[in-house]
Structure 1
């Protein structure tokens, strides 16, 4: 771990999280799997058993962003090259690939295996691979912007590809998709997806203006501002006093909205974001600082049964509290989440709120990303407070 540049809260666990992400990373080509396991149930006895041994564009982008912040800059370079090559080979952007950039196999159930603790079905492949998820445009453009700010070399063909993704994002946000949580029911215009399309056009405008590149810089900038305004106005539900999961203000609360300030879509201290943060912390609470992604009776996802608390959402809450100046609360929550790690410093996708037990695929890249990103945010906030 000679590249690790982190000195802050839970330093040993942050280093362990970085090692875990590196072990999920394909060191040759830059891809990164969401988890090295398949079909570990969430919860035990349920049917939410998925194969996570593939490279999601979203998960990998979150990972390289977190790793960059603690000194691992080469990972972002490798990932960007890998994902654009994968897009070109597949003829269109897909949400996930295998580690070699090939299509993910069709999802099948293995009737010969009973599953972990007899929680079948065991699945190989992933049926979400062909879903429409518009956030991938923002993930790639955001990664490219970070890379170029650290002196990456932008070739004309690369800019042509990035500009094309921005153009797609400028239209895609109007169309229903399956969202970050990969619902297996009817698509909707999700607020988070629209927010990541905003990220795509915003970063394209920033790159084009900064480097004097050809492209629709003014149109992208106008589109970014329009989308930011739409998110703050149209997804706001006055009765609920919060932003909602769908851009028309309908649907339930969605913990993914906590990620919007982290991608600079809306300010964390905007009154409507502050209200949304409080609503999510209160109404999606699973107790003990844990959060559900959403409530299934308000946000049906097309899969039977409930699930546990999703760890990354609680780390997002830490980050919002930090940005809202509530550093003491954030520090306390962060410590409680880190205390849930196994003796080896590993975390699952979800926690069973009733027992504290680990559920879902393990170890989960998303959860270790949260350990790193929130640790960095807390460290910087504390340094600012004492400066």
Structure 2
């Protein structure tokens, strides 16, 4: 399959699985992912903005705001509890807002860690990117109450241990989560002029905390107290901008990601990953390609894009592939427990679109196309 074909199919697939509420189904055919996440959805909306599908992104951000507003009382209760020192550090506490929702904005019960902050920072970052890419400045006023509530919630909770972007390690603090919060707070500074000084100080404090506590051996670490490397650390540079791509800390982090987690063009999450045998995640491979473009390594970025194209299945791009497994003995057990790996994963398609746009593979005729 050619890259151009996958570009068009990715756009169509994402639009097809955006629900009437504006939410994107993470993976419509995978039982455990038939929900909507603020984090995954924001990167999907960002991809839609980059290919000119601004109405789709607008609808998603309106959905985010509706969900946050619907749970305002819970958020305010959590803020008061944190400020009063009454919540402790129980990261799974139902006191806090959830990380995944039904497409109608209801919380999802289950064993997964529900207290995650990265999505709340990421949707604010994505909203600012939507305005930048689409010119839709009016959306800021429309969603003002949800924006301010999110900022209040993040300001109160950012120091608390909570689950990472993989919904694991809820008892720790994670540099990537803090970077997401940093990015969201910074992104809102121009749009909340009455709070600009407060937000600037908060962002600076969070960034310094990561630099002071989120590094070891001259590079960033998976979490405070865990010196392992995680491929999501790429996000500290693109898109969260906590450090530049050329920063020595990031350069050494990427070198460690390449040494431990890169096999061919496929990127693993982290060395101890056992989920479906610890396969290679297409979205993380695209992320490495995105980073490569930033540092002038477009040749490898193009090779990664071609590799992703080669992994297209009849139903779409999967979450991960099994070319190289870190824990092959675990694969069959996961199949028995949860079924076949997720496919299609909208986040995989979104990250392919972002990488394709970074490489200049998406022409203006595609960005202006009215696709069914």
Question: In structure 1, what is the Cα distance between the partners aligned to 2:37 and 2:15?
Answer: 15
Q: Is 1:333 paired with 2:304?
A: yes
* Alpha-carbon distance, 1:233 to partner: 3.9
C-alpha distance 168-103 of structure 1, shift in aligned 2 (>3 A): closer
Aligned to 2:22: 30
Query: How far apart in 2 are the matches of 1:372 and 1:335?
Result: 12
For residue 86 of structure 1, report the CA deviation from its aligned partner: 1.4
Distance 1:333 1:322 in 2: 11
Task: Tell me what 1:141 maps to.
Answer: 124
2:314 corresponds to 1:322: no
Partner of 2:365: none
TM-score normalised according to structure 2 size: 0.80
Partner of 1:165: 150
Q: How many Å apart are 1:90 and its aligned residue?
A: 3.0
Q: How does 1:1-387 map to 2 (within 5 A)?
A: 10-26=3-19, 28-38=20-30, 51-91=32-72, 92=75, 93-104=97-108, 106-107=109-110, 127-128=111-112, 131-149=114-132, 150-154=135-139, 158-183=143-168, 185-208=169-192, 213-214=193-194, 216-238=195-217, 241-246=218-223, 248=224, 250-263=226-239, 264-285=241-262, 287-296=263-272, 306-342=277-313, 344=314, 346-354=316-324, 360-379=341-360
C-alpha displacement of 1:85: 1.1
1:152 and 1:321 mapped to 2: Cα distance? 31
Alpha-carbon distance in 2 for matches of 1:155, 1:165: 13
The answer to whether the 8 Å contact 1:90/1:102 transfers is: no
1:254 to 1:145, Cα distance in 2 relative to 1, 3 A: same
**Structure with a larger share of its residues in helix:** 2
Q: For structure 2, list consecutive stretches of 5 or more residues without a partner in the other structure.
A: 76-96, 363-372
Deviation at 1:80, TM superposition (A): 1.3
Count of paired positions? 325
Q: State the superposition RMSD in angstroms.
A: 2.7
Residue-by-residue CA offset, 1:234-264 (whole Å, 9 max, x unaligned): 22211xx421011x36331111111221222
Q: Tell me, yes or no, if the aligned pair for 1:80 and 1:144 is still in contact at 8 Å.
A: yes
Residues 131/328 of structure 1: CA separation in 2 closer, same or farther (3 Å cut): same
Give the conservation status (yes or no) of the 8 Å contact 1:234–1:249: no
Separation in structure 2 between the aligned mates of residue 291 and residue 375 of structure 1, nearest angstrom: 17
Partner secondary structure for residue 59 of structure 1: helix
Tell me the SS of whatever aligns to 2:45.
helix
Question: Would the alpha carbon gap of residues 292 and 173 (structure 1) be closer, same or farther in structure 2, given more than 3 Å must change?
Answer: same
